[in-house]
Structure 1
């Protein structure tokens, strides 16, 4: 499956707002987890099937859906929370470009979660969608992950910031987890790139060129996945939204520096890989030049020797010194003398 651009053939000819899942189904059955909390209490339950949820204004409800391939489930949730059919379509379109938009009843956003394919050591991006309301937050993930486990752990502790703030603070912390994950993924790739850099300088081999090209593709894929996040964070900070409180707004501004750090690191590693590609080619060319230099010197020395051998190897009956007793030894000595004289000359000219 294409990583940078995927054609939605399944949606060809369908009217706008058609709920059709586009992507790779990663779990057999969607998993629903509902966490309701306030300053003094917390309930956390797993639901076998979705039922209409009504939440009182005194509690915050976090609904997490793992698996977005079930169109009926997505539609039921949309009807329950009055989510636009166009946003529901975006939730099921896993190739959707990350974005954020504000509507009358909620704030809608999509971002990418990066993880590593253990079989191929490639970076994969799963889509995560957010629907933020006045007293609820709904998250849609392609498959279960542990990326939000630290948030759940902090949420389980009574009398902390989570319990004292609204769903917008929860929204901020989840995005913070995604950005932390970006830095973690980039750090892991960066360590290997720096190792390759040392290896190329010490002993360049063809396998390193394959790795350089591999990580160039991975860096490009990561940039495609997280670069739109800059627009999301910037737009969130600029919008005067009723769903983002004045208490949470300063925290969202702090996300800008974290995202810029991730993007700066990507640019640095992109440049390192480009330099490594050039360094590898220069090293290989240098080796080739040394080899050609040796062969040229070797061939040049043997040109006069071959000339002498060719003359005395001709089949004429009368050749001077042909029957002389010491002709063979004289010719060998002359050849050695010519060879050493040429080596000395090359050495003096600093050609070798």
Structure 2
């Protein structure tokens, strides 16, 4: 399946809001997890069915419902019915090729973006879609499979550290997005270390393998840029949003999120330009190496032009020819050739062609 654009053949001809999963199934069975909390109470459990979620709509505590696995439209429809989520939002949630975006509704705030991860070789990227629906006392999050990115948030909730247990789901959404953007920086930093090392290798030894590596990093940086550029737009919109679901006291946190988003985007642009410079340096190094080879061959051929001329003259088969019967004529001719070679090399050296 294409990385930059997912196939939508299964949705052809269907009306808007049709729940058709688009993407690759990454977990065997969806998992529902609820963390219900306030400053004095905490409930963290895995649910077997979505029916028990209806109590969250009437609870006075903050509820975080996380769904791992997006491939069962029936489950998504049940959750959507319980929390009055629009079918258009559910359609975007289960479309893993959805472009990152932020949408504001009277009863909810919808965010979807990409989470980036390094593969084991730390030279390639894979992405997973993350979606969140913010409501009055509830935050629903949707992931393609269980992950570790949000464990620091869960630890803060369990350990009652900071203001997380005292504030509402809007601050919870901020902390989750903060984890995603911090992970962007981590991924870019790891790849950037290798990209910066390539510069010295390009100048020292521009091999075909190095060219392949440069092109591979250019593809990965383009993939990261495709995810981060719209994510930055989301952060900027959140910082300026005027919604009853986002309290004024977390606005300065959202502005800090903008700073991280801008830093991520700037870093991607820097490494993108750096890779273009590496490619130009590689081509320049190869061109210079080719010029050196051509220079050597040209000088070599130029030296042999007069030698070939002398050899051609004394290789003719005339019976009457001056110096043809000299006893030491062969050695005299070799001496003349050597003198010509030395003279030409001396001239090239004085002209700084060597």
Fold match (TM-score > 0.5)? yes
Matches within 5 A, 1:33-112: 33-53=33-53, 54-55=55-56, 56-112=58-114
Is the aligned partner of 1:125 residue 2:127?
A: yes
SS at match of 2:164: helix
Q: CA RMSD in A?
A: 1.4
Mapped contact 1:39–1:159 kept (Cα < 8 A) = no
Task: Specify whether residues 42 and 295 from structure 1 end up closer, same or farther in structure 2 by C-alpha distance, changes over 3 A only.
Answer: same
Mark the runs of 5 or more structure 1 residues left unpaired by the alignment.
Answer: none
Task: Specify whether residues 124 and 132 from structure 1 end up closer, same or farther in structure 2 by C-alpha distance, changes over 3 A only.
Answer: same
| Cα separation, 1, equivalents of 2:316 and 2:279 | 53
**Pairing partner for 1:245 from 221, 230, 247:** 247
TM-score by length of 2: 0.96
Report how far residue 159 of structure 1 moved.
6.0
**Pairing partner for 1:158 from 150, 157, 160:** 160
Residue 22 of structure 1 is matched in structure 2 by 22
| Cα separation, 2, equivalents of 1:119 and 1:183 | 18
Residue 290 of structure 1 is matched in structure 2 by 292
Residue 219 of structure 2 is matched in structure 1 by 217
Residue 9 of structure 1 is matched in structure 2 by 9
Mark the runs of 5 or more structure 2 residues left unpaired by the alignment.
Answer: none
Residue 278 of structure 1 is matched in structure 2 by 280
SS at match of 2:51: coil
| Cα separation, 2, equivalents of 1:121 and 1:34 | 35
| Cα separation, 2, equivalents of 1:279 and 1:7 | 37
Matches within 5 A, 1:198-347: 198-347=200-349
Count, aligned residues: 352
| Cα separation, 2, equivalents of 1:317 and 1:214 | 69
| Cα separation, 1, equivalents of 2:340 and 2:111 | 81
SS at match of 1:247: helix
Report how far residue 119 of structure 1 moved.
6.6
| Cα separation, 2, equivalents of 1:33 and 1:318 | 108
| Cα separation, 1, equivalents of 2:136 and 2:311 | 98
SS at match of 2:148: coil
| Cα separation, 1, equivalents of 2:289 and 2:161 | 67
Structure 1 moving runs of 4+ over 6 Å: none
- Can you list the C-alpha shifts for 1:199-228, whole angstroms capped at 9, x where unaligned? 112221111111111111111111111111
- Can you list the C-alpha shifts for 1:228-273, whole angstroms capped at 9, x where unaligned? 1122112222221111112212111111111111111111111111
SS at match of 2:118: strand
Report how far residue 109 of structure 1 moved.
0.9
TM-score by length of 1: 0.97
Mapped contact 2:68–2:142 kept (Cα < 8 A) = yes
Mapped contact 2:67–2:143 kept (Cα < 8 A) = yes
| Cα separation, 1, equivalents of 2:193 and 2:102 | 33
